[in-house]
Amino acid sequence: MPRKVDKPRKHRPPRIRVPHQQKAIFTVDHQKFVGIVQRLSLTGGSALLVKGPIPEGTLGEMDLGTVFGKVNAHIEFLHTGADGVPLAQAFAFLAMDAVSSERFKTAVEQMDPSDFSDVEGKQTPIDAAFETLRESVRQLSGMLTSERRKRSKT
């Protein structure tokens, strides 16, 4: 059996669970559609897109409202199945203007200490159990939805 070569792991910024089903406007090829942001970090995030999955590598824009004002970012759509949710799609931030960048960083800093962060050590054992249960239900829901779509097409 071949040995795996260990790649040096980059430090990944903490991911923030976005509360209250925060919506964002995504734009691809001058077409706008809504997505519900699931997670955010300083480098990207994931969202459930109303339009459905976007091909990996597609470039677009995201407009996100924060308590500090609107944030506009150029993004690249990544893989689906982000955070174990089959219909969630990951994206990476490519660029933000200075105002959007400052607003975004301030919003993330405000959410981080509010127990929305995925950083370990912030959850009690019961919170961790409920989070595991919630993620399992999301995965099951995504699989059922996917199966229903397949059946309705045939």
Taking only the tens place, the pLDDT of each residue in 77-91 is 999 888 778 888 999
Mean pLDDT of the chain: 78
Q: Are residues 68 and 92 in the same domain?
A: yes
Q: Are residues 25 and 52 in the same domain?
A: yes
Calpha distance 23→36 (Å, rounded): 4
Query: 116: domain CATH number?
Result: 2.40.10.220
Residue 93 φ/ψ, nearest 5 degrees? -75, 130
Q: Are residues 66 and 140 in the same domain?
A: no
Q: Evaluate whether residue 45 is within a structural domain.
A: yes
Q: CA distances (Å), 144 to each of 82, 83, 138, 148, in order?
A: 17, 17, 10, 6
The answer to whether the beta carbons of residues 61 and 27 sit under 8 Å apart is yes
pTM, two decimal places: 0.65
Q: Evaluate whether residue 4 is within a structural domain.
A: no
Q: Does the pLDDT at position 2 exceed 50?
A: no
Q: Are residues 143 and 111 in the same domain?
A: no
Q: Evaluate whether residue 8 is within a structural domain.
A: no
**What's the structural domain count of the chain?**
2
Q: Are residues 35 and 73 in the same domain?
A: yes
User: Which residue range(s) make up the domain with 58?
Assistant: 16-120
Q: Of 106, 87, 94, 79, whose CA–CA distance to 147 is shortest?
A: 87
Count Cα atoms within 13 angstroms, Cβ side, for 18. 23
Q: Are residues 46 and 87 in the same domain?
A: yes
pLDDT tens per residue across span 8-42: 556 656 677 877 788 999 999 999 999 999 988 88
Q: Does the pLDDT at position 68 exceed 80?
A: yes
Q: Are residues 36 and 109 in the same domain?
A: yes
Q: What share of the chain in percent tops pLDDT 70?
A: 66
Q: Are residues 99 and 24 in the same domain?
A: yes
Taking residues 141-149, what's their average pLDDT? 67
